[in-house]
Amino acid sequence: MSGGITWRWICDVWGCFSDPSMGQLKRIVGTMDRYVYEDILENTMRPWAKANLSRPWVFQQDNDPKHTSSHVANWFRRRRVDLLEWPSQSPDLNPIEHMWKELERRLKGVRASNANQKFAQLEAAWKSVPMTVVQTLLDLMPGCY
């Protein structure tokens, strides 16, 4: 998946990765809506992509209503970000879903006393995932690249 990004937020965390590098995790405070998502795209994903990916690259997201809203679609058009066409109900095909399972395995049995500590644990586990794991997850995507 050369030059592609995949993302996912779970509970209060959003993250993205591609074959050259892991993006940063972003903690979500409050409810993620289209405005919070746009802020993450603009201030987290886009700077990371500009710094780590060469053009062309493709962004992959699921079809959650906040991701497909006209507000967010307009952001993608203005920023000239290409989106990967993606079936609406395909969690087993989405590499980020498998990445969250990898993080769950790495943190199994690790306790946190509060949300800040849990986020720090997630960040550390995220940063420790070898790129070979990322490449394996991306290679599992059927016929995308």
Q: Tell how strand 58-60 and strand 82-83 pair up.
A: parallel
Residues 6+ apart with CB under 8 A from 122: 13, 25, 103, 107
pLDDT per residue as tens, the chain (145 positions) = 334 444 443 458 889 888 878 988 999 888 889 999 999 999 999 999 999 998 888 898 888 888 889 999 999 999 999 998 877 666 566 788 889 889 989 998 888 888 888 899 999 999 999 999 998 888 877 655 4
Domain, as residue range, for 12: 7-104
Q: What is the CATH number of the domain that holds 37?
A: 3.30.420.10
pLDDT tens by residue, 15-52 = 988 887 898 899 988 888 999 999 999 999 999 999 99
Q: Within 10 A of 133 (CB to CB), how many other CB atoms are there?
A: 15
Read off the pTM.
0.80
| Burial of residue 11 (number of CB atoms within 10 Å: 0-12, 13-18, 19+) | exposed
Number of domains in the chain: 1
Amino acid found at 13: V
